Each structure stands twice: as C-alpha cells, then as structure tokens.
C-alpha cells in the first residue's frame, strides 16, 4: 500500500514533504482536506478521531507508511530525510542542518503570526498591517543572515543536499511571494540556490505540475495574506 500524506488543501506546512517525496520518486497518496465545512467535518469529526489510537499527536499533516504513523511536519521531513539518504553524515553537516532549521523555522513562525493575528484582537487587521510592515522593514537583515550562512556552498549543509534544503527553499519562496521579490533578489547566492533547487530531478517536474503543486495560496482563506491564488505582495 502506498504511503499516505495528509494535510489541508493549501501549500502551508507540508510542501517541503511533498517536494521531498517527489524528489525521492515515492508514489504516495496526497490526501487533501478541503477548507470548507465538508473538509473540516471529515477531519475533525471523522479521521482525527479515528487516528487517536495510532498517532501520538493526531494532527495535520500526518504521514502513514506501514508501521510508521507520525504527525508534525518537521518530524515527517526528518524521517523521510533519514530514510532516503538526505540527512547529514558528519558532525558539521548535522550541526548546520539543526542551525538552519531553527533559524528559518523562526521566519516561518513570524509569517504565520502575520497571517493569523490573535482572534481575540478586535483590531486584528491593524495588528496584521503593523506586523507585516515591521517584518518587511527587517527582511533584508533576515535574508542577509541566511545568505551569509550559505556563503558559496551549494546546499545548506555543505555540498550535500539534505532534507533541510526542502524546508529552507520553501520558506525563502514564501518570502519571495508574500513580499516584494526585490528583497530576496539582493542576495545572488540565495537566488542561485533556489534556481539550483528548482532544477533538481523530480523537484522540477513537481514544481512545474499545475495538478500536483500549489504555489499559492500558502495559507487558508481565513488568513490575512497569502490566502488566495492571485495574492500580490504590497511591501
């Protein structure tokens, strides 16, 4: 039976996993829950309850491959990295992977907070605008740190492609899509890094497939940006 990868029908947290599976030429069921009442009920009132006995933390995304049944996007990505030879092999590589996952993970969390300000905030649109502008103002410095870390290396761990590259590429692409691309274009090594990644066998075919890959929306319709296929950045 083919493995099952399940998530909402948006790019969201799971795209690095989808991309890695296509790179590794794994045939899998890409189960997507619609972001409407039907999809919500299918997950919250159906599948989530059914998976409480098999998943330690029943949540989306989840990945089921025989006896391996796990949730949490980074855990799935790390598991697949080990399984498909995309983990570090030296102490230096392992440290670099851990560092960049933490650093870029901070950017992922900041973007999520901009997309989904606290529901209890009566002025959440104002909060969103403030957070978005603050993030854009500091984006050059954020990207500079990643650019400096990458340096002249082909991949974030060094000369070997690892699972971390699938995560880093996605978050860099989020920044390129949610904000003016001029921010990222100031760093030629990051632009070249993304082009190198996009041309990997399996990745190129996946990213070029309108049926399999969603560049946008990144977030759900309930988000305050990056929430529709035709979203255009303003900063």
For 41-69, write each residue's pLDDT tens digit. Answer: 999 999 999 999 999 999 999 999 999 99
Do both 120 and 200 map to the same domain?
yes
Alpha helices in 55-116 (DSSP H): 73-83, 91-115
Q: Domain containing 71 — which CATH number? A: 1.20.1050.130
2's tokens? 């083919």
Do both 118 and 100 map to the same domain?
yes
3-class SS letters over 160-225: CCCHHHHHHHHHHHHHHHHCCCHHHHCCHHHHHHHHHHHCCCCHHHHHCCCCCCCCCCCCCCCCCC
Q: Whole domain around residue 186: which residue ranges?
A: 91-207
Helix crossing, 15-23 with 73-83: angle to 10°?
Answer: 10
Do both 178 and 100 map to the same domain?
yes
Do both 122 and 53 map to the same domain?
no
For the stretch 170-201, pLDDT in tens is 999 999 999 999 999 999 999 999 999 999 99
Predicted model pTM: 0.95
Number of domains within the chain? 2
| 151: confidence class by pLDDT, cuts 50, 70, 90 | very high
**Mean pLDDT, range 138-145, rounded to an integer:** 97
User: What's the pLDDT score for residue 120?
Assistant: 61
User: What's the pLDDT score for residue 118?
Assistant: 80
CA distance 49 to 58: 8
For the stretch 71-127, pLDDT in tens is 999 999 999 999 999 999 999 999 999 999 999 999 999 999 999 988 666 788 899
3-state secondary structure of 33: strand
């Amino acid at each position: 039976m083919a493995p099952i990868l399940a998530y909402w029908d948006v790019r969201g947290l799971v795209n690095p996993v989808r991309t890695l599976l296509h790179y590794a030429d794994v045939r899998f069921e890409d189960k997507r829950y619609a972001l409407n009442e039907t999809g919500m009920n299918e997950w919250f009132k159906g599948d989530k309850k059914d998976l409480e006995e098999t998943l330690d933390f029943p949540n989306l995304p989840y990945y089921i491959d025989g006896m391996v049944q796990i949730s949490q996007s980074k855990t799935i990505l790390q598991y697949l990295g080990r399984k498909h030879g995309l983990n570090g092999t030296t102490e230096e590589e392992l440290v670099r992977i851990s560092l960049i996952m933490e650093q870029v993970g901070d950017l992922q969390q900041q973007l999520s907070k901009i997309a989904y300000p606290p529901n209890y905030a009566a002025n959440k649109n104002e909060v969103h605008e403030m957070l978005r502008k603050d993030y854009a103002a500091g984006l050059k410095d954020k990207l500079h740190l990643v650019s400096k870390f990458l340096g002249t290396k082909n991949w974030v761990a060094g000369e070997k492609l690892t699972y971390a590259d699938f995560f880093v590429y996605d978050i860099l692409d989020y920044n390129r899509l949610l904000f003016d691309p001029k921010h990222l274009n100031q760093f030629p090594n990051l632009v070249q890094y993304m082009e190198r990644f996009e041309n990997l066998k399996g990745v190129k075919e996946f990213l070029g497939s309108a049926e399999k890959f969603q560049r946008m929306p990144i977030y759900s319709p309930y988000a305050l940006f990056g929430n529709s296929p035709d979203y255009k950045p303003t900063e």
